[in-house]
Amino acid sequence: MENRIRVAFVPLKSTFIGLPRALLFNMLFRDSYGGKIILRIDDTDGLRAQPERLKIVFDTLHWLGINWNEGPDIGGEYEPYIQSERKSSYLKATEHLIKKNRAYRCFCNQSANSHGCLRDCKKYSQNEIDNRLSEGQQYCVRYCINNEIESYFDLIHGEIHKELKDISDPVIVRTDGTPTFHLATAVDEGALRITHIIRGVDHIESVFIQQQIMKDLGIKLPQYAHFSIYESEGENIYADNLKGKYDVESLRREGFLGRAVVNFLITSGYMPKGVEDCTLFEYNDFLTSFDLKNFSQSNQFYDFERLISINRKWIRHLPEEQYLSEVEQYFKFVDYSFHVPVQLRLVLKNHIDTLGDLIRKISVLYDQSETMVQVIQNEIGSERVVLKKIYDECVKCSHWTQEDLKSVIVKSAIDFGKKRCYEVFRIALTYKEPFGSILEIAECLGREITISKLSKILELE
């Protein structure tokens, strides 16, 4: 039987980092054992899937090299793959459960009440129910929990048991007629012929209720695997998703490399045996020995500094041609059209953490605004006389190589010392930013721009 592996997500206004992480783990399973990934959108709670929003999500996922086999964007044998378009199947399942006395209408008007039915509505006679319906009373539908010990085998955690005697009958249809997570998920697992669900451990207990519903609907139970989720000190990373470091689109805009994000996401919770955490991985590197047993059962600290470190290492690791290609793609993505010499892009390669840093450093180098000039003037202070000497030597310099610029510093150093001249020259061109060799930077900027910037700082223009 073909493996059919389901991944679902809620269409929020930003793509939480957990979605690509889940998809990557599911891809590793599919590409190791065969099968198809089915991408489903859970939007029954009022967050409708807007086409323009989905386009951004799919584009971001593709940027990471993530793919699936069936879904709302590419269709498939069992479409639709958006829950709000499957309402009739949920209503049909609800009627089936009611007829089997496995669900009941609750007139307590407590559709989201965690304390359950307040008046024991499941004991109402059909006549009482009909009277309330004829009066137009609102109701939700609750599922009748079997108060017994429920269990299942988790492919990561092993056998899991839970006693359900203290669980209230959950709402499966709200008063507005929309299905809740438990019903819609249970019905869809059958409709989409799902065989495997690999998801975060925060869903580990929802299996018990959904299993009971699936059994009552005659749906074959899938296999489950629950991997660790992210935690962050002092922050709720789910509630704080919009802060930038937790949503993938922000990471892309900031200039993180797709391969670095993939490297970080997979190794946050999964690590092949015998390798060190600092190792740089491509996706295919994980396929050679993929095993669900290598998943950590402990939740993962969302270490943003580690992500930055991995991205920095990848930027330095890339061959020049690949790096320049990544830069070009990023400039197009953020609509950055300023002409940057190729040599300058390469010079800055080892001095940036993200491609966003590249743009910020370039902005500093070419910034001759009144504000920036004033900042540099304040920093140079009484060393203005040193800068004037460097400027004079630059004007005399007809050729503009690093050797020529070294001669500029040597000649200026006769009066002020080499170290002092290098430092003043660095501040004038880069302020306090780390850029590597100042001679290399000046060579890339060119004679005209360098002299123009020094002239403005010295107020010679």
- Name the maximum alpha-carbon separation found in the chain: 106
Question: Torsion angle of alpha carbons 397, 398, 400, 406, nearest 10°?
Answer: -30
Q: What is the pLDDT at residue 285?
A: 87
Q: Which helix (H) or strand (E) holds 301?
A: strand 300-301
Q: Quick: pLDDT tens for 12-51.
A: 777 888 899 999 999 999 999 999 999 999 988 766 668 8
Residue type, 54: L
Q: What is the pLDDT at residue 109?
A: 65
User: How many Cβ atoms are within 10 Å of 81's Cβ, its own excluded?
Assistant: 24
Residue with tokens 């990373």: 237
Q: Is 204 exposed, middle or buried (0-12, 13-18, 19+ CB in 10 A)?
A: middle
Q: Quick: pLDDT tens for 192-223.
A: 999 999 999 989 989 999 999 999 999 999 99
For 239, 264, 273, the CA distances from 236, given in Å and listed in that order, are 5, 20, 31
**In this structure, what token pair is assigned to residue 432?**
């306090």
Q: What is the pLDDT at residue 242?
A: 47
Helix (H, G, I), strand (E, B) or coil at 6: strand
Q: Quick: pLDDT tens for 54-95.
A: 899 999 999 999 999 999 999 999 999 999 999 999 999 999
Q: Tell me the mean pLDDT in the region 434-448.
A: 92
Question: Is pTM, for the whole model, over 0.85?
Answer: yes
Q: Are 182 and 94 in contact (CB under 8 A)?
A: no
**In this structure, what token pair is assigned to residue 302?**
């969302």
Q: Quick: pLDDT tens for 156-190.
A: 999 999 888 878 899 999 998 999 999 999 999 99
Beta-ladder partners of 7: 39
Mean pLDDT across the chain, nearest whole number?
Answer: 90
Distance CA 154, CA 65 (A): 28
Q: Which residue has the higher pLDDT, 270 or 243?
A: 270
Q: Which residue has the higher pLDDT, 298 or 197?
A: 197
Q: How confident is the model at residue 274 (pLDDT cuts 50, 70, 90)?
A: low
Q: Does the structure show a pLDDT above 80 at 278?
A: no
For 72, 154, 227, 433, the CA distances from 23, given in Å and listed in that order, are 15, 18, 12, 38
